[in-house]
């Protein structure tokens, strides 16, 4: 190396980062053995933040703009270095550029299915996947918590950690949402918003903000899909229909399992199902054939100013035959406004029709 080049590279006059990648989050400015000169020019472009670190301790943070480095715009570093009255000597410090642009189309998905409870279908295994976007909103915190002192930190180095956090938080959000499993598709947007809000509380600890979170799809076992389709054809699902449908499905499975004596099993289960269905049909026929009995009519009877009863029509007929119930007896039943004479009530007309008249006088 010539003496001129050696002298030229002894001090750093310009500090900047031109990002020509799409996945770099943190870039460490290559100072090597060079020292930064007093008054050096620092250029921080849009979607960047520059962070100065002195002996492992975060010092000054610079937002987009152009700076001529001096004690005035390096207050924390000046204190750490002990520059009370300005400085003239070159100094050494680590400079990290942090990209604050949006990193989009990051993929997430569940490696293994997670289990959620459903009121009608019991415990259900779900797989889900989608994409998300994020950006660094606190460069100093991100360096401290995630990137450390890497020379170049890319999205590949953090997506695994973020993916695990996303899956855990999404699974919890889904499990506590009480969304019926067969209504999941219609609730994707709402569930995505809830998940994004919950995730941002976690991401804030790393100096990151989730800019968007999308659930592209969720899958479930094929057997469950078939059940949902079958139940949807039943209209309103109740316990009896579920039991019948599951019994029918078990018969179909047993009959086709020849390795376990499928024919005999299928026949036995089929006979049991036949008895059950026969009993159900018999009960339905009996309910249809047997009319509902009419409501029981009962009357109260006033005797010597006291309420007695209630008495059925048959009981009143017997009392009338014995002479204890007469046409002018006062009666009342539910629905009547007042007590009335028995012979004015149409329902009691047949009671006195069965009472024999007085016997004729003896023949002289």
pLDDT at 269: 47
Is 196 among the domain residues?
yes
Q: Decide if 261 is inside a domain.
A: yes
Q: Is residue 286 part of a domain?
A: no
What is the pLDDT at residue 277? 53
CATH code of the domain in which 113 resides: 3.30.479.30
User: Where residue 134 falls among pLDDT bands split at 50, 70, 90?
Assistant: very high
Asked whether residue 109 falls in the same domain as residue 211, the answer is: yes
Co-location of 8 and 95 in the same domain: yes
Query: CB within 8 A of 220, min separation 6: which ones?
Result: 124, 125, 126, 127, 181
Closest of 98, 136, 103 to residue 212, by C-alpha: 103
Q: DSSP characters for 87-137?
A: --S-B--EEEEEE-S-EEEEEEE-SS-EEEEETTTEEEEEEEEEEEEEEES
Say which residue, 246 or 159, is predicted with more confidence: 159
Q: Is residue 227 part of a domain?
A: no
Q: Which of 64, 81, 99 is a domain's end point?
A: 99
User: Is it the case that residue 102 has pLDDT exceeding 90?
Assistant: yes
Using the predicted structure, report yes or no on whether residue 75 has a pLDDT greater than 70: yes
Cis peptide before 310 (omega within 30 of 0): yes
Q: Which of 99, 133, 163 is the last residue of a domain?
A: 99
pLDDT level of residue 7 (50, 70, 90 thresholds): very low
Closest residue by Cα to residue 184 from 219, 157, 152, 221: 219
Domain end (from 68, 99, 130)? 99
**Confidence (pTM):** 0.58
**What is the CB-side half-sphere exposure of residue 307 using CA atoms within 13 A?**
6
Task: Quote the pLDDT of residue 169.
Answer: 87
pLDDT exceeds 50 at position 358: yes
pLDDT of 11 strictly over 80? no
What angle separates helix 222-233 from helix 239-256, to the nearest 10 degrees?
A: 130
Buried b (16+ CB within 10 A) or exposed e, 98-115: bbbeebeebebebeeebe
Other residues' Cβ atoms within 10 Å of the Cβ of residue 232: 10
338: domain CATH number is 3.30.1490.40
pLDDT tens-digit map of 289-332:
556 666 677 888 888 888 888 888 888 888 888 778 888 889 88
Mean per-residue pLDDT of the chain: 79
- The parent domain of residue 172 ranges over 103-222
Number of domains within the chain: 4
Asked if 68 and 134 sit in the same domain, the reply is no
Residues 221-257 have pLDDT tens digits of 777 777 776 666 665 545 566 666 666 666 666 666 5
What Rg value do the Cα atoms of the chain yield, rounded? 45
């Amino acid at each position: 190396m010539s003496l001129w080049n050696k002298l030229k590279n002894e001090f750093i006059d310009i500090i900047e980062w031109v990002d020509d990648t799409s996945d770099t989050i943190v870039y460490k400015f290559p100072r090597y053995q060079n020292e930064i000169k007093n008054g050096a020019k620092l250029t921080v472009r849009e979607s960047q933040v520059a962070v100065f670190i002195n002996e492992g301790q975060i010092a000054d943070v610079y937002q987009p703009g152009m700076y001529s480095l001096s004690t005035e715009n390096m207050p924390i570093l000046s204190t750490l270095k002990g520059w009370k009255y300005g400085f003239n000597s070159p100094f050494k410090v680590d400079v990290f550029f942090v990209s604050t642009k949006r990193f989009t189309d990051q993929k997430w998905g569940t490696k293994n299915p997670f289990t959620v409870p459903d009121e009608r279908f019991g415990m259900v295994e779900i797989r889900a996947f989608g994409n998300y976007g994020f950006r660094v909103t606190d460069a100093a915190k991100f360096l401290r918590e995630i990137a450390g002192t890497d020379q170049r930190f890319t999205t590949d180095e953090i997506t695994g950690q973020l993916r695990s956090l996303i899956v855990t938080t999404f699974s919890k959000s889904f499990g506590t949402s009480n969304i019926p499993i067969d209504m999941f598709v219609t609730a994707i947007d709402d569930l995505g918003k809830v998940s994004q809000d919950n995730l941002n509380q976690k991401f804030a600890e790393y100096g990151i903000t989730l800019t968007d979170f999308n659930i592209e799809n969720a899958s479930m076992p094929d057997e469950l899909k078939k059940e949902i389709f079958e139940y949807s054809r039943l209209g309103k699902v109740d316990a009896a229909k579920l039991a019948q449908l599951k019994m029918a499905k078990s018969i179909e499975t047993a009959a086709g399992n020849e390795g376990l004596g499928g024919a005999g099993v299928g026949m036995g289960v089929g006979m049991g199902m036949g008895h059950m269905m026969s009993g159900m049909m018999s009960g339905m026929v009996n309910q249809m054939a047997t009319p509902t009995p009419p409501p029981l009519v009962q009357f109260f009877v006033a005797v010597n100013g006291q309420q007695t009863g209630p008495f059925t029509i048959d009981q009143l007929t017997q009392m009338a035959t014995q002479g204890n119930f007469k046409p002018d007896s006062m009666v009342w039943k539910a629905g009547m406004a007042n007590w009335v004479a028995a012979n004015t009530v149409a329902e009691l007309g047949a009671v006195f029709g069965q009472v024999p008249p007085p016997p004729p006088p003896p023949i002289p």
